A and B are shown apart, each in its own frame.
Chain A
Amino acid sequence: MARGYLALVLHAHLPFVRHPEHEHFLEERWLFEAITETYVPLLQVFERLVADGIPFRLTVSLSPTLISMLTDELLQDRYARHLEKLIELADKEVGRTRHTPFHETALMYQRMFRDIARTYHETYGRNLVQGFKRFQDAGRLEIITCAATHGYLPLLMINPEAVRAQVAVAVDLFKRHFGSPPKGFWLPECGYAPGIDEILKEFGIRYFFTDTHGVLFASHRPRYGVFAPIYCPSGVAVFGRDVESSRQVWSAQEGYPGDFDYREFYRDIGFDLDYEYIKPYIHPDGIRVHTGIKYYRVTGKTNHKEPYVPAWAKEKAAVHAGNFMFNREHQIRYLCRHMDRPPVVVAPYDAELFGHWWFEGPLWLEFLIRKIHYDQDTVELITPGDYLRAFPCNQVARPCPSSWGNKGYNEVWLCQANEWIYRHLHLAASRMVELAGRYHEADGLLRRALNQAARELLLAQSSDWAFIMSTGTAVEYAVRRTKAHLLNFLRLYEEIRRGSIDEDHLAWLEWRHNIFPHLDYRWYASEATGS
């Protein structure tokens, strides 16, 4: 019997980037890179663990935008083409690197990309969402979801109906793909504000996560700190992030990913190799991009980089997995002295950290799960749902409004670079609520226009745009997306109000922004006016 629990949570999300109007679109590569480097490798880890009969429990959050993109035929086709080119490049690289210290790594990529193609096409028939579902059905994963377009909810709560719609759309989409509503909910950026829990409760959500101080600064003061969930007065449970386990994986300085034997992210042949050679594999306009083929290891803190040695990196991943487990055992033994129930250590991460940023991340996870099974009996993997079933009685406290962004509150999404968006987002939300109140049972063209207006609003609300603006890189795309969706919304609003809907334009928007085909604009009806 384990003395305490570890709840590993992987939150997978990318903003909705799909441009049917362009043959090649730079930002679509975000998805392609994440499929190759993170989503498929994670599924392959789960496959190997299941094949070896190793029991494990993990929580995976799949955002509705990601679910939509992974199941979109156009993007599936484009990814398939992207992967073919990548395999072609990897084959060439095997030839080019012969008799160099990079050859072994080139062979590794050649093997890896072919394996990924097999998994993608043959094992899952291009539908990775079904892949994740397979492990849910096998009792390995607890899959949850997050807000429809990853809207940063605390700053949308000016219009609670807009937050309710973000949740309603997410829960509806989740049910369609996974057969039952989600038990848990990942608050985008762990952003919590009072009232959000009550909306989650309306949809049967049992739990969500906050950053450490979301639980730690709750009132009344939680007896077990972040090592047991609290209940909001609404009855929804809150799990707080553990500081120690986060730092070990996240921190660029003390964290594992910065180890000198691991692969260096920033040295990619897309930038390093001769233009004529690499041209067919970067953006057709000649913009150099990451190809995913990288030959160097971190090496040290300077720009001098040495060739990557796959065997060393693998060895390091095993060492780090052992270290992480040792620290958890130690932590749990210590906590047990102060608690009258088994502590739960909650360790949430962006899924894309594993594989994309930290190339060896999936391998580390696999080693960790194997070691937890074979090497000790202090720590057991658990999901929040399992924990709440085992320990249904928890302290009641009001969580502290918080996020896991820089400085811990709302500043990342409300700073000088992005504050201008809110006067538009809030106004659009109130107009959407107004439309839903005005038209109770629309059908035909009007219904289509109302639904598309809701889609445009949701897409404008993605926290990703505000985040990108705050970081100062790729700002133009984020600004454009925000403005374009808002303008689309405002135009539809005017057309609906005037009673003259431009059907061609509507059809064009439906084709371009085809997310959430089952969305129902009536989810925006406020409780007072809703039927």
Chain B
Amino acid sequence: MTTLFFLLVGVALLVLALGIFLWAGKGRPSPPAAGGEAVSFREEMAEELGLFPATPPEAPAVPPREPELVLPQRYGVDRLVLMVRDPYWLYAYWEISATRQEEFNAAFGPRAWESTRPVLRVYDVTGVNFNGFNAVGYTDINIQEEADSWHIPVGQPNRSYCVDLGRKFPDGRFVTLLRSNVVTTPRSSLSECLDEEWMWIEELYRGLRFPYGVSSPMMAEEVRRRAEVFPVSISSPAFGPPAQEPGK
């Protein structure tokens, strides 16, 4: 959505620039007005720039700009993809096709979409083979209508999650539109699973903080500043404890 905003701002600027250009055009053939012609306009600009006196040698010259590359906003594919950022955070992105929206209205009434709110339902599916109904627990996150991605603070290492994107009716009824893949957050500590007959040389590690990410000298600075590490306490949804020991 933010990208769309910038795109709109970009178009607005382009129109503005076009206006200025026409005003200062000095008998140039007027560029066609259609939006699709914007590209040729940009090329003319680029040529004209070349006529300006060269920049003074001391100033690093700006390399000639190549045409802007614009990726599709949408692909017309219904999908909700869940990714792991770290032991405490997930990231989800999605796309809902117009067809899916129409199907929703067809099923729940022509004004159903407008009268519902978008919600991310984050299921804790640790230890279960999730079928939509057997989650250990879930948390709902109200999201903005325009959002197409979300950083989800789950706050729990070594647990499995699945996310539904759905619509919530005023009466609390939740209808799933898209379901994500299942992911598991990584551990943030030593495993509790010990093979009892083995000895662990843990005195080597007790109290030692591991300098994650000292992979380049440039990053060393950052590493020292990561005292807070993870904002675990901030808005972590409180998942209930597992109803049973994780199976298998």
Q: Do A and B come from one complex?
A: yes
Q: Which residues of A contact B (CB under 8 A)?
A: 26, 154-155, 158, 189-190, 193-194, 211-213, 216-221, 223-225, 227, 243, 246-247, 250-253, 255, 257, 275-276, 279, 285-288, 335, 338-339, 350, 353, 357, 395, 397, 400-412, 414-415, 419-420, 422-424, 426-427, 471, 480, 483-484, 486-487, 490
With A409-B85, A419-B91, A419-B93 in contact, is A221–B213 under 8 Å at CB? no
Report B-chain residues with C-beta under 8 Å of the C-beta of A275. Answer: 57-58
The 4 A-B residue pairs with the shortest CB-CB distance, nearest first, are A408-B212, A219-B191, A409-B86, A406-B213
Asked whether B205 lies within 8 Å of A216 as measured between CB atoms, the reply is yes
A216 to B201 CA separation, bound complex (whole angstroms): 11
Known: A353-B217, A406-B213. 20 other contacts (CB 8 A): A154-B84, A190-B215, A219-B187, A223-B198, A223-B200, A225-B200, A225-B201, A227-B201, A251-B214, A251-B217, A255-B220, A335-B204, A407-B86, A407-B226, A407-B230, A409-B186, A410-B85, A410-B86, A419-B91, A480-B69
Q: C-beta contact mask, B197-229 vs A, less than 8 Å → 1, else 0?
A: 011111111001011111111111111101001
Q: Is B235 an interface residue (CB 8 A)?
A: no
With A216-B205, A410-B84 in contact, is A288–B60 under 8 Å at CB? yes
Q: Is B83 an interface residue (CB 8 A)?
A: yes
Contact of B85 among A411, A427, A484 (CB under 8 A): A411
Asked whether A253 lies within 8 Å of B220 as measured between CB atoms, the reply is yes
Asked whether A401 lies within 8 Å of B201 as measured between CB atoms, the reply is no
A293 to B211 CA separation, bound complex (whole angstroms): 33
Report A-chain residues with C-beta under 8 Å of the C-beta of B236. Answer: none
A255 to B219 CA separation, bound complex (whole angstroms): 13
CB of A493, distance to nearest CB on chain B (Å):
11
Q: Which residue of B lies closest to A483 (CB)?
A: B69
With A221-B200, A423-B81 in contact, is A408–B214 under 8 Å at CB? no
Q: Which residue of A lies closest to B226 (CB)?
A: A407
Asked whether A255 lies within 8 Å of B217 as measured between CB atoms, the reply is yes
Q: Which residue of B lies closest to A401 (CB)?
A: B186
Number of interface residues of B (CB under 8 A): 66
Within 48-87 of B, Cβ neighbours of A (below 8 Å) are at 55, 57-61, 63, 66, 69-72, 75, 77, 79, 81, 83-87
Asked whether B186 lies within 8 Å of A250 as measured between CB atoms, the reply is no
With A155-B83, A252-B217 in contact, is A286–B57 under 8 Å at CB? yes
Asked whether B60 lies within 8 Å of A285 as measured between CB atoms, the reply is yes
7 A-B pairs (CB sep. < 8 Å):
A223-B200, A225-B204, A335-B204, A407-B213, A409-B84, A410-B86, A411-B85
A484 to B68 CA separation, bound complex (whole angstroms): 10
Report A-chain residues with C-beta under 8 Å of the C-beta of B187. Answer: 213, 217, 219, 400
Asked whether A252 lies within 8 Å of B83 as measured between CB atoms, the reply is no
Contact of B186 among A220, A400, A426, A427 (CB under 8 A): A400
Q: Is B195 an interface residue (CB 8 A)?
A: yes
Asked whether B219 lies within 8 Å of A213 as measured between CB atoms, the reply is no
Asked whether B69 lies within 8 Å of A484 as measured between CB atoms, the reply is yes
Asked whether B211 lies within 8 Å of A251 as measured between CB atoms, the reply is yes
A422 to B189 CA separation, bound complex (whole angstroms): 28
Report A-chain residues with C-beta under 8 Å of the C-beta of B230. Answer: 407
Q: Is B193 an interface residue (CB 8 A)?
A: yes
Asked whether A221 lies within 8 Å of B215 as measured between CB atoms, the reply is no
A403 to B93 CA separation, bound complex (whole angstroms): 22
Asked whether A217 lies within 8 Å of B221 as measured between CB atoms, the reply is no
Contact of B215 among A287, A350, A400, A424 (CB under 8 A): A350
Q: Which residue of B lies closest to A431 (CB)?
A: B75
CB of A196, distance to nearest CB on chain B (Å):
13
Asked whether A221 lies within 8 Å of B193 as measured between CB atoms, the reply is yes
A287 to B212 CA separation, bound complex (whole angstroms): 35
Report A-chain residues with C-beta under 8 Å of the C-beta of B192. Answer: 221
Asked whether A406 lies within 8 Å of B223 as measured between CB atoms, the reply is yes
Report B-chain residues with C-beta under 8 Å of the C-beta of A335. Answer: 201, 204
With A410-B85, A410-B86, A484-B69 in contact, is A286–B59 under 8 Å at CB? yes
Q: Is B244 an interface residue (CB 8 A)?
A: no
A408 to B223 CA separation, bound complex (whole angstroms): 10
Report B-chain residues with C-beta under 8 Å of the C-beta of A218. Answer: 191
With A253-B220, A410-B86, A414-B83 in contact, is A405–B213 under 8 Å at CB? yes
Report B-chain residues with C-beta under 8 Å of the C-beta of A486. Answer: 71
Contact of A427 among B75, B194, B198, B201 (CB under 8 A): B75
With A286-B57, A410-B83, A424-B71 in contact, is A250–B210 under 8 Å at CB? no
Report B-chain residues with C-beta under 8 Å of the C-beta of A247. Answer: 211, 214
Q: Is B95 an interface residue (CB 8 A)?
A: yes
Q: Is B3 an interface residue (CB 8 A)?
A: yes
With A406-B226, A486-B71 in contact, is A423–B215 under 8 Å at CB? no
Q: A158, A194, A217, A427: which has the most chain B beta carbons within 10 Å?
A: A217
Q: Is B181 an interface residue (CB 8 A)?
A: yes
Contact of A487 among B69, B81, B186, B223 (CB under 8 A): B69
Q: Is B188 an interface residue (CB 8 A)?
A: yes
A158 to B91 CA separation, bound complex (whole angstroms): 13
Asked whether A221 lies within 8 Å of B181 as measured between CB atoms, the reply is no
Contact of A407 among B3, B91, B212, B218 (CB under 8 A): B212
Asked whether B208 lies within 8 Å of A243 as measured between CB atoms, the reply is yes
CB of A531, distance to nearest CB on chain B (Å):
26
Report A-chain residues with C-beta under 8 Å of the C-beta of B107. Answer: none
